[in-house]
Structure 1
């Protein structure tokens, strides 16, 4: 069975702050692993690097007090809701 699509949520300010902290860590992990992915010699190596990066990303999200489902739900809400996106941008600029 396919994983359930994340539910679009209306996150609280506290959840948004946790999301922002997690998102910054997730972006840092992605940046850290990008060169390794580009230099990977084959699919098996790429797969291993991606799995390691995924585990670090999950840990970063959970470290900020969110489940991966909550994180993905907030990501989706931000993509679909311009008002929410503006709010997150304002929070980032504070």
Structure 2
């Protein structure tokens, strides 16, 4: 049963992880319209453990922000209010990444590397779960 629970948690984190990464790209685009849409992927060997920990901390906090704002969005029927809530969520996610001492470019590059490397992804999931 513990193995099943672990797999469910890992799958849930992975799904949220993928969604959180795409939201961060949106936050970057909203704040910097001339910035490229995607960051080049970093090689796994280029990512220090400290940067990966900062990424995992950011991702964990971003997942919480998404949950909070998703609940708020579900309660509103006003499109203008929904747009304002989305902007607030994007700003908060951007601030979260920067508060964790990462640039948006670093976050997006690490996110892409983690999506492409199953071992790196497992390491991030483990960091978030601990």
Secondary structure at the counterpart of residue 6 of structure 1:
coil
Instruction: Report the aligned-residue RMSD.
Output: 1.7
The answer to whether 1:64 aligns with 2:97 is: no
Following superposition of structure 1 onto structure 2, how do residues 38-77 of structure 1 map, counting pairs within 5 Å?
A: 38-77=74-113
Report if aligned partners of 2:55, 2:102 keep a CA contact under 8 Å in 1.
Answer: yes
**Unpaired runs of at least 5, structure 1:** none
**Unpaired runs of at least 5, structure 2:** 1-33
Q: 1:93 to 1:36 in 2, by over 3 A?
A: closer
Report if aligned partners of 2:38, 2:108 keep a CA contact under 8 Å in 1.
Answer: no
Which whole-Å deviations, capped at 9, do the CAs of 1:34-61 have from their partners, x for residues lacking one? 1111122232211100000111111111
The answer to whether 1:5 aligns with 2:38 is: yes
Q: 1:78 to 1:48 in 2, by over 3 A?
A: same
Name the counterpart of 1:92.
Answer: 128
Report if aligned partners of 2:39, 2:105 keep a CA contact under 8 Å in 1.
Answer: yes
Which whole-Å deviations, capped at 9, do the CAs of 1:5-51 have from their partners, x for residues lacking one? 21101311110000011111111111111111112223221110000
- What's the TM-score once normalised by structure 1's chain length? 0.87
- What's the TM-score once normalised by structure 2's chain length? 0.65
In proportion to residue count, which structure has more helix? Answer: 2
